[in-house]
């Protein structure tokens, strides 16, 4: 196959044939490269980019990277569903609970949801600034476009400690008497700038979440 124009010279055509022969001799295992199980480890990021994977972490093990690529098509099919959000949360802490607006109509507006974090005494996960940023980033990749995360709670029995509220209205900043007050201060979710819907704001250039100065 050639890309030379019809008016190319005889010399150009001969040089083109030489280059075609040289390239044909280069072993290119296309099937192996596009297979997450056999792709060389150094090329896994390129394979992930090639299939437009939504969530990728350079800190993953090789096995985790191959698994994420292998599951990418199935994840795309259910993107925007509760199941896809559940998959993301499980990577951070399987004990995080999701409550959608129709499950708590009294406190949540339509098409919003909240996360309920387990107590420190129940979960070993440390919700520091780095983890919170990664959690928000991955949630934004898979949640329905019209759905907004309006609040995050720290659970203690049946009580809830409010950490983050849409627009920080008075109702979203209350702290129940029997809630875990210390956990409510960690992490400081309020440090992230938000829209009126409670959606964290991103820097368009770096895609990092904006933090209040």
For the cut 50, the answer to whether the pLDDT of residue 180 exceeds it is no
Q: What average pLDDT is seen over the chain?
A: 75
The H or E element containing residue 44 is helix 44-50
Residue 47 pLDDT: 93
* pLDDT the model gives residue 160: 38
Average pLDDT (96-121) is: 84
Secondary structure (3-state) at 1:
coil
Among 72-76, 128-132, 199-203, the range scoring the smallest mean pLDDT is 199-203
pLDDT at 108: 79
As beta bridge partners, residue 161 has 154, 175
**Residue 9 confidence (pLDDT):** 93
Q: Report pLDDT for 186.
A: 45
Q: What is the pLDDT of residue 63?
A: 94
The 10s digit of each residue's pLDDT in 18-63 is: 988 888 887 777 788 899 999 999 999 999 999 888 888 888 899 9
Report the range of poorest mean pLDDT among 74-83, 182-191, 194-203: 182-191
* pLDDT for the residue 70: 93
Distance CA 93, CA 87 (A): 10
Is this model's pTM higher than 0.85 or not?
Answer: no
């Amino acid at each position: 196959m050639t890309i030379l124009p019809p008016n190319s010279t005889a010399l150009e055509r001969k040089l083109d044939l030489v280059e075609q022969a040289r390239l044909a001799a280069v072993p290119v295992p296309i099937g192996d490269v596009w297979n997450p199980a056999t792709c060389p480890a150094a090329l896994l990021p390129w394979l992930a980019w090639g299939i437009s994977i939504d969530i990728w972490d350079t800190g993953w093990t090789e096995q985790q990277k191959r698994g994420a690529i292998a599951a990418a098509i199935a994840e795309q099919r259910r993107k925007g569903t509760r199941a896809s959000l559940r998959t993301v949360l499980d990577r951070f802490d399987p004990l995080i609970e999701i409550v959608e607006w129709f499950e708590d109509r009294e406190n949540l507006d339509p098409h919003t949801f909240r996360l309920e974090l387990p107590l420190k005494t129940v979960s070993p996960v440390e919700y520091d600034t780095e983890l919170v940023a990664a959690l928000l980033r991955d949630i934004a990749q898979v949640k329905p476009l019209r759905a907004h995360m309006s609040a995050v709670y720290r659970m203690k029995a049946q009580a809830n400690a409010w950490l983050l509220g849409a627009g920080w209205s008075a109702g979203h900043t209350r702290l129940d008497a029997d809630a875990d007050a210390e956990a409510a201060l960690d992490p400081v979710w309020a440090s992230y700038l938000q829209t009126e819907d409670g959606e964290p704001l991103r820097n368009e250039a770096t895609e990092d979440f904006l933090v209040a100065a």
